[in-house]
Structure 1
């Protein structure tokens, strides 16, 4: 499928296990060249959905396709799609090299690919150690190496940062960004929201198996993020901003934070700076407060309102 547009499309996907509905009428898209964060509380249906995408779980209804095809219809699927699930196990007597050689043989990939991936994933020094002695972080790297054996253009990663220390997370962020910049389609689930915020381009949020929100993080968070302003003229500046917004812009909401500090909603930093300069008011600092994925996640998964409903209620 080299050269095809490998978008993941989930359409009206539903999965029931007896009387339990794990996923219900779920639809979303993961675009090529993007890292999409798949978020939701434990038990929300994330892993079940990802397993349906790669054919490990049969949906009750609906479809999941990769580049317009079901996973089972893709020739040599491991060369197109790589998947990592948190519960992946290794034979305790196998070394990392043994493990990768077995999977390379199954996929028809050369042994040279194993050596390449051991180096790429930072496992060369542990290549001949038994996997039973691996830390959780090393297991995660070996999982990822296994998924990359076929050099796939699509990656589904379930909690890929589990067990990684801060240095490992920094490495993972850079590695995944490099893969996405090569044009790969990447879907990652995670509960480490602060880390995901530094990785993802798009977000899909589900709760109780149903879609709550999807799209760019900045769009889901609503209007422009607030700006924290430090000024010795804070009181006068607050009145000036509210009484003299730029043409065509609604009056901002201004909150005093502490003496000499304001939080401004509805204007961006350049607009605030220009208004302050025009009225000869001093500004000692302007900091745009980026949307918090963690707060957005909590809002979406504990509220009865969707993003659209929250926006209309403002």
Structure 2
């Protein structure tokens, strides 16, 4: 695949921008006043519970669903105004959208012809997606993982700088998941815009740079994953936990660390790293049996952001 240089002009052309996007079906609002931006050169996770509006948003981005109001653009243009859509955007929404009587090679040739792409792309992508041995097998016999690879190959026919992928790791075994992670990272490192919707949060945490989280069609958080996760806490186990907590709270009078007593001689400390805690404990002759980093997981952040809060009286 051709490498892409992420200069300023490229960034402007390939940025995804969703602005005050709303989609109503009668009285039901699937998406409500949604705004976010997806930048080239990073992998962005598009997250939300079932029914949050992720698929509807992706379909509005690709012109399959008309918004009630607002805009969804790629490089400043709605999908319908792109001159060569498949050379700009590769979309992977349905891993079962194959004619059961077609082989993988047949399928890719049909889509290559429809998009005006050279037939040579078919062989290149079969090799790239590790489908060469299955190229002449009919798709009705494909496993879920093979269907995912063929869907991704279809999205890449135009060598597009923008990829919209809905659940691309579904059905992949651990080896396939590891391969996909590396493959998508390489695409982003080339300067491509990669937006992924997925429910596999453990995998997303290892892959994404940025996240966009929606709930009931509305934005609840967007930005770099590292910023949203915040600094990790440190879990401390000490038989002198009470005295250590007092020392830690007094360590920085102008910005004392937050110390939470978990009971059983265990503390959760925000605002000091493990070496700092160990040094303070040693200087006060306090015993420490364990120091463990307690990083916020993407799953925990997701649950915190999307959980239904109990109504207050």
Q: TM-score, normalised by structure 2?
A: 0.89
Give 1:308's aligned residue: none
1:162 to 170, 184, 205: 170
Tell me how far apart the structure 2 counterparts of residues 101 and 55 of structure 1 sit (CA, whole Å).
24
| Unaligned stretches of 5+ residues in structure 1 | 306-314
Tell me how far apart the structure 2 counterparts of residues 272 and 141 of structure 1 sit (CA, whole Å).
48
How much does 1:277 deviate? 4.5
2:20 to 7, 12, 17: 12
2:296 to 273, 291, 295: 291
How much does 1:73 deviate? 1.6
Give 1:178's aligned residue: 186
For residues 56-80 of structure 1, give each alpha carbon's deviation from its aligned partner in whole angstroms, at most 9, with x where no partner exists.
Answer: 1111110011111111222211111
For residues 127-170 of structure 1, give each alpha carbon's deviation from its aligned partner in whole angstroms, at most 9, with x where no partner exists.
Answer: 11110001111111110010011111110001111111222111
Q: How does 1:1-314 map to 2 (within 5 A)?
A: 4-5=10-11, 6-86=14-94, 88-221=96-229, 223-230=230-237, 234-243=241-250, 245-246=251-252, 248-256=254-262, 258-259=264-265, 261-279=266-284, 281=286, 283=288, 285-304=290-309
- In the superposition, relative to structure 1, how do residues 61 and 256 fare at CA in structure 2: closer, same or farther (>3 Å)? closer
For residues 195-236 of structure 1, give each alpha carbon's deviation from its aligned partner in whole angstroms, at most 9, with x where no partner exists.
Answer: 111111111111111111111233334x52211235565554
Q: 1:58 aligns to what SS in structure 2?
A: coil
Question: Do 1:86 and 1:160's aligned partners in 2 also have CA atoms closer than 8 Å?
Answer: no
Q: TM-score, normalised by structure 1?
A: 0.88
Paired residue total: 302
Question: Do 2:165 and 2:196's aligned partners in 1 also have CA atoms closer than 8 Å?
Answer: yes
Give 1:311's aligned residue: none
How much does 1:293 deviate? 1.3
Report the aligned-residue RMSD. Answer: 2.2
| Unaligned stretches of 5+ residues in structure 2 | none
- In the superposition, relative to structure 1, how do residues 278 and 114 fare at CA in structure 2: closer, same or farther (>3 Å)? farther
Tell me how far apart the structure 2 counterparts of residues 126 and 34 of structure 1 sit (CA, whole Å).
31
- In the superposition, relative to structure 1, how do residues 26 and 130 fare at CA in structure 2: closer, same or farther (>3 Å)? same
Tell me how far apart the structure 1 counterparts of residues 130 and 238 of structure 2 sit (CA, whole Å).
48
Question: Do 1:194 and 1:293's aligned partners in 2 also have CA atoms closer than 8 Å?
Answer: yes
